[in-house]
Amino acid sequence: MGISDTGPRVAVVGGGIGGLAAAAFLDRAGIDVTVYEQARELTEVGAGLVVSPNAVRLLRRLGQFERLRERAVALRVGWEFRRWADGRVLFSQRLGEECERRYGEQCYVTHRADLLDVVRAAVPGRALRLGSRLVDLERRPEGVLLTFADGTRTTADVVVGADGVHTTVGRFVGQAGPPRFSGMCAYRCLVPAERAPAFALRPVQTLWLGPGRHLVHYPISAGAQVNVVAFGPAHDWTTESWSAEGRVEDLRAEFAGWADELTDLLAAADHTGQWALLDRDPLPRWTNGPVTLVGDAAHPMFPFYAQGAAQALEDAAVLAHCLAERPQEPRGALERYERLRRTRATQVQRASRDRAETNHLPDGPAQRARDASFANEDPLTHNGWIYGHDPATTLASDGHDMRDAAHD
């Protein structure tokens, strides 16, 4: 049994942002796609995330920009770096219209669950299969056989692993070495707007820098909540799971003695998630025959560049257009997808890894030099390689322009 005249049957394993984005772009390209998600309902744990211009332009191409704008907060200022001890502003970058002028889109912040709903709106209901936990893949002459925990089976011509850092599909592609414990952990919590200090409600991405720790906050959910994510020593915490609950008392203790504005914000939090940050090298490959990976399954990265969701969206757009261009040769299409995406995603992955050391300098000469260097900062320009990227340009230079198909 070969590929049908209408193209390959694609099974996407994982119904997070990357998996749903892959399904949305594939469906838009006219490809038969089904998403298999182990949860019985689509929910997104975690809290807030940044939707940078490179992600916004792809959501616009899916026809979901207005839905995003209803739920997100457009940042007026980003990279408002503050000193840990007294809250002194070391640097801030105007965003808003300036970001739009440079990159064609503004920069937004939103709840992960809201972004999941935005992307899901672009996926037809018939393409979703919930309560389907993959346990095995097997190549057969008629395609790849997928077996699920409840005993059901299905066959697909292409399997896309969008099942995160603990990927099952990745075992059938080729694993990197074991992850390394970074010694850091992250806390995430949400503070209701009515309990948060007024300065935290501004449409500003604020980053507090201090010895061995940093903390980021910004409003989300159309201003109804403040997202707080803090990074510090893991101590004996080794659990890597966004659903793991931490102790808000531990979070407050990590930032005891910091500026009053920050400790007031943490005093308003009543619970927190906590997870260990594990460091992973780039995978040696993303694709093996008819099986490929997207998002965190392909390029797990630290959150310090806030690019996890955006890179998954870029993966999804390129994957769909490669398969649409060569529907009768899906293996070649997957190889092309990896070739077009792997270098860029690896570059972002490595840049994210390098950021932690800069943010966590102890007080002293190196810290003072870093703070002084902010006078010459222009992050909106030096992050242009991220924000200005358009997969359409990459595909056009490689012999196929996705923009016409994206605006059909």
User: pLDDT tens, 357-367?
Assistant: 889 999 999 99
The whole-angstrom separation of Cα 183 and Cα 167 is: 22
d(CA 169, CA 369): 45
Phi and psi at residue 234, in whole multiples of 5°? -80, -20
Task: Write out the catalytic residue numbers.
Answer: 218
In CATH, the architecture of 1-40+130-176+283-360 is 3-Layer(bba) Sandwich (3.50)
Query: Is residue 18 within 8 Å of residue 294, measured between CB atoms?
Result: yes
The whole-angstrom separation of Cα 174 and Cα 103 is 36
Q: Do 320 and 333 meet the contact criterion of CB atoms below 8 Å apart? A: no
Cβ neighbours, 10 Å, residue 377: 15
Q: Where are the domains of the chain?
A: 1-40+130-176+283-360, 50-110+179-279+361-391
Backbone φ and ψ of 197, nearest 5°: -60, 150
Residues 6+ positions from 134 with CB-CB distance below 8 Å: 13, 36, 38, 146, 147, 148, 149, 163, 168, 169
* CA separation for the pair 95, 75 (Å, rounded): 6
Q: Which CATH number does 50-110+179-279+361-391 carry?
A: 3.30.9.30
User: How far apart, in whole angstroms, are the C-alpha atoms of residue 48 and residue 108?
Assistant: 11
Say yes or no: do domains 1-40+130-176+283-360 and 50-110+179-279+361-391 share a fold. no
Comparing CA positions, the residue from 307, 283, 279, 312 lying closest to residue 295 is 312
C-alpha 352/C-alpha 272 separation (Å) is 23
Tell me what pLDDT residue 44 has. Answer: 65
The pTM for the full model equals 0.93
What's the rounded Cα separation, in Å, for the pair 310 and 295? Answer: 9
Distances (CA, A) of 163 to 9, 134, 267: 19, 10, 35
Q: Which residues of the chain have pLDDT under 70?
A: 1-2, 4-6, 44-46, 175-177, 238-243, 399-408
- Please write the tens of the pLDDT for every residue from 145-204: 999 999 999 999 999 999 998 899 999 997 666 788 888 999 999 999 999 999 999 999
pLDDT for the residue numbered 408: 34
What pLDDT sits at residue 407? Answer: 35
Q: Is 42 left (phi over 0), alpha (psi -120 to 50) or beta?
A: beta
> pLDDT value at position 123?
97
**What does the block give as tokens for 362?**
């102890």
Q: In what order do the strands lie in the sheet with 32-37?
A: 128-130, 32-37, 9-13, 158-161, 291-293
What pLDDT, on a 0 to 100 scale, did the predictor assign at position 166?
A: 87
Within 8 A by CB and 6+ apart from 165, the residues are 240, 278, 280, 296, 297, 300
